[in-house]
């Protein structure tokens, strides 16, 4: 098993390691957890991740009037957001985003490893036309090697999305993936629930939780 000590990278943000989060992660890591429970508790973590990502968006002052007829000096988000899910596993995070941000637009990208070259290959992309004007929440539950994520980020940059407007949200990642993404894209922020030990010889995160997409969608 290749394992790297994780350094608290300034561009990688962990959810607060509360007892609640530790319980939720323990449930979804358990091989004996039913699919129904896996989906339910994964969705709870995804919502926490989206809430944390929103904390990293800039705000501007906005004064409003309360029902008491009093002016209140509040704030509102600066700019609009959209989600981009890396198919198929990333689609599991779309509903969590919609629960937090009503009416949010979501793009989809399908990238798979080419059997001949062993490199990520783009098969499908559908992004909002005005994506260059939005903050992008990139959705993929696991960050292992970072190959698919990097290819998707390259696609977003070609669509004129500023690098510092991309927030990559995942449930579990490993030091190798963090290092690869933050080195190649130093302005991107990673929002994650937990950093695991590393990857095994097959490039699976360990201790991990298995194939997230298979467990969430009930396929093998």
The rounded distance, in Å, linking the Cα atoms of 162 and 135 is 9
Catalytic residue among 102, 116, 117, 201: 117
Residue 76: beta bridge partners?
A: 60
57-94 CB burial, b ≥16 within 10 A, e <16: eeeeeeeeeeeeeeeeeeeeeeeebbbbbbbbbbbbbb
- 219: annotated active-site residue: no
Catalytic residue among 35, 80, 113, 184: 113
Quote the distance between the C-alpha of residue 185 and its chain's center: 15
- 211: annotated active-site residue: yes
Catalytic residue among 130, 183, 214, 219: 214
Quote the distance between the C-alpha of residue 52 and its chain's center: 11
Backbone angles phi, psi at 186, to 5 degrees: -65, -15
Residue reference for tokens 């490993």 = 174
- 66: annotated active-site residue: no
Catalytic residue among 9, 43, 200, 211: 211
CB 152 within 8 A of CB 86: yes
Strands (E), the chain: 2-3, 12-14, 59-65, 71-77, 80-87, 105-113, 120-126, 134-139, 142-143, 166-173, 189-195, 198-199, 205-206
- 117: annotated active-site residue: yes
Q: DSSP state, 195? A: E
Q: What are the catalytic residues?
A: 113, 117, 211, 214
């Amino acid at each position: 098993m290749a394992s790297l000590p994780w350094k608290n990278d300034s561009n990688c943000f962990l959810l607060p390691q509360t007892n609640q989060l530790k319980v939720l992660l323990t449930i979804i890591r358990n091989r004996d957890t039913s699919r129904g429970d896996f989906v339910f508790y994964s969705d709870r973590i995804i919502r926490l991740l989206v809430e944390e990502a929103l904390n990293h968006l800039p705000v501007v002052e906005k004064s409003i009037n309360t029902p008491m007829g009093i002016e209140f000096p509040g704030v509102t988000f600066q700019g609009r957001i959209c989600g981009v899910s890396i198919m198929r596993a990333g689609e599991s995070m779309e509903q969590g985003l919609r629960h937090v941000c009503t009416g949010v637009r979501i793009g989809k990208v399908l990238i798979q490893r080419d059997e001949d070259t062993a490199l990520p290959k783009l098969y499908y992309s559908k992004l909002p036309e005005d994506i260059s004007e939005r903050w992008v929440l990139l959705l993929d539950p696991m960050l292992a090697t970072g190959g698919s994520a990097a290819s998707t980020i390259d696609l977003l940059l070609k669509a004129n999305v500023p690098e510092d407007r991309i927030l990559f949200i995942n449930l579990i990642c490993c030091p190798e993936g963090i290092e690869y993404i933050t080195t190649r894209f130093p302005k991107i922020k990673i929002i994650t629930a937990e950093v695991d030990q590393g990857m095994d010889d097959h490039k699976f995160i360990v201790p991990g939780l298995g194939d997230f997409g298979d467990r969430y969608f009930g396929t093998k």
